[in-house]
Amino acid sequence: MLIVLIFLLVLSVLVLIHEFGHFVAARIFGVKADEFGYGFPPRLVGIVKDKGKWRKVSGKDEKEYQNTIWSLNWLPLGGFVRIKGENGEEETIKDKDAFHSKPIWQRIIILAAGVTMNWLLAFVLFASIFSIGATAILEGVPADAKIENREVRITNIMVDSPAAKAGLLPGDRVLSVAGVVPETFEKAREAIAAQNDKAFEVQIERDGQKKSLSVSPIYIEEIKKFGIGVGLADVGRVRFRFDRALFYAGETVAGYTRDVIVSFGTLIRDIVFLRHVEQDVAGPIGIAVITGQVAKQGIVPLLQFAAILSINLAVVNFLPIPALDGGRVLFLVIEKIRRKAVARKVEARIHQIAFLSLIILILLVTIRDIGKYGGVIWGGIKGLVGM
């Protein structure tokens, strides 16, 4: 149950911050927001400031309200903002506070404000992480980083290796190797290499408990010498001065944005030319499972995961695909070039078809997620109901 709540919280924050961007930009340019809602309809409750007083939304025509309706809805999957005339309703075209009555540049800013807020959220999250500190592998860490709690940890284990057979696991903290306390992973490697083919004890710490495990080295063909098949790294808590944290946050957001764009380019290439998807694409269920797994690692990994999800949401939403913000911007660019808007009914129909296609794609990915994560989900359900 806790994992579900964490997933809904992360999803809600990402979506609401996106919709809030649209809302703020619309209000700045004098466009009315008919409704700002948490969750999706049907509506549970709605309030509006009517004639100077806050009151529950009544049964009268909602278009008569001059202010935004703030609503709580039954499906807690993010939220939405209804901007007056955004879908080109004929009765709003001449209204000064309607979306399509505004200059094209203002409409583009309103549409782009959502993804801008997602990028800004990712920037704030990364800046916070870099300021308070996060556990990281120290290889390649900038010279101006402040490093605390330096230690040696196991990063990976070869299949069927002596390390695997001895019970060592990735993430284990190495306390000693054959009685030697290693200060760095290089010292740990030297201590392992010094044993040649003799069995020795490795003392590790896992989940706060110390364990001593016996390991017998073998000759490993890949490295042409005796070893136990374990990857090691120096790990520590890394943080930066506030101004440097801001710099590295911007650099990180730019890097992840580039990676997401390249990833989607590869995905489209696979679909168009290879007729199948090489990449592992997760849908809502897959993301929920991953969120639960990351949440177990602590608040900092969860914040980092949320930041990366926010960047993904920004990039995907600004792709020039109808029904998405990027697709709506594309129609405005076409309108600017033609000096004439595409017929509202035609544009609306294109957005509807594209939206339906996206829903079908999400359903297909969800079906694949169920096949992949079904065991994890069923296990969680059984644990929830005590089966």
Domain CATH number, residue 214:
2.30.42.10
Q: Kindly report, residue by residue over 306-322, the tens digit of the pLDDT.
A: 999 999 999 989 999 88
Q: State the residue range of the domain holding 349.
A: 2-32+84-130+279-385
Give a yes or no: residue 223 inside a domain: yes
Q: 45: which strand partners? A: 72
**Kind of pairing between the strands at 209-215 and 200-206:** antiparallel
pTM (predicted TM-score):
0.80
Is residue 268 packed enough to be buried (19+ CB in 10 Å), middle (13-18) or exposed (0-12)?
exposed
Residue reference for tokens 């990712």: 122
Can you state the angle between helices 242-269 and 299-317, rounded to 10 degrees?
A: 50
Choosing from 219, 239, 259, the residue where a domain stops is 239
- Grade residue 64 by pLDDT with cuts at 50, 70 and 90: confident
Secondary structure, 3-state, the chain: CHHHHHHHHHHHHHHHHHHHHHHHHHHHCCCCEEEEEEEEEEEEEEEEEECCEEEECCCCCHHHCCCCEEEEEEEEEEEEEEECCCCCCHHHCCCCCCHHHCCHHHHHHHHHHHHHHHHHHHHHHHHHHHHHCEEEECCCCCCCCEEEEEEEEEEEECCCCHHHHHCCCCCCEEEEECCECCCCHHHHHHHHHCCCCCCEEEEEEECCEEEEEEECCEEECCCCEEECCEEEEEEEEEECCHHHHHHHHHHHHHHHHHHHHHHHHHHHHHHHHHCCCCCCCCCHHHHHHHHHHHHCCCHHHHHHHHHHHHHHHHHHHCCCCCCCHHHHHHHHHHHHHHCCCCCHHHHHHHHHHHHHHHHHHHHHHHHHHHHHHHHHHHHHHHHHHCC
For the stretch 341-386, pLDDT in tens is 888 888 888 988 988 888 887 777 667 666 665 554 444 434 433 4
For 159-191, the pLDDT digits (tens) are: 889 999 999 999 899 999 999 999 999 999 999
- The per-residue pLDDT for 384 is 38
Please report which confidence band the pLDDT of residue 287 belongs to, taking 50, 70 and 90 as the band edges.
low
- For residue 246, being part of any structural domain is answered with no
Domain count, the chain: 2
Which of the two residues, 328 and 220, has the higher pLDDT score? 328
Do 10 and 121 share a domain, yes or no?
Answer: yes
Residue 333 pLDDT more than 90? yes
pLDDT at 273: 63
Based on the fold, state whether residues 119 and 161 are members of the same structural domain: no
pLDDT(326) > 50: yes
Q: Tell me if 353 is assigned to some domain.
A: yes
Of 239, 269, 294, the position where a domain reaches its end is: 239
Residue type, 20: F
Structural domain contains residue 273? no
Q: What is the pLDDT of residues 247-283, one digit of tens each?
A: 999 999 999 999 888 887 777 776 666 655 555 566 5
* Residue 210 located in a structural domain: yes
| Torsion angle (degrees, nearest 10) of CA 63, 67, 72, 77 | 80
- Residue 77 included in any domain: no
Query: Residues 77-94: what's their mean pLDDT?
Result: 81
The percentage of the chain sitting over the pLDDT mark of 90, rounded to a whole number, equals 50
> Is the domain of 98 the same as that of 18?
yes
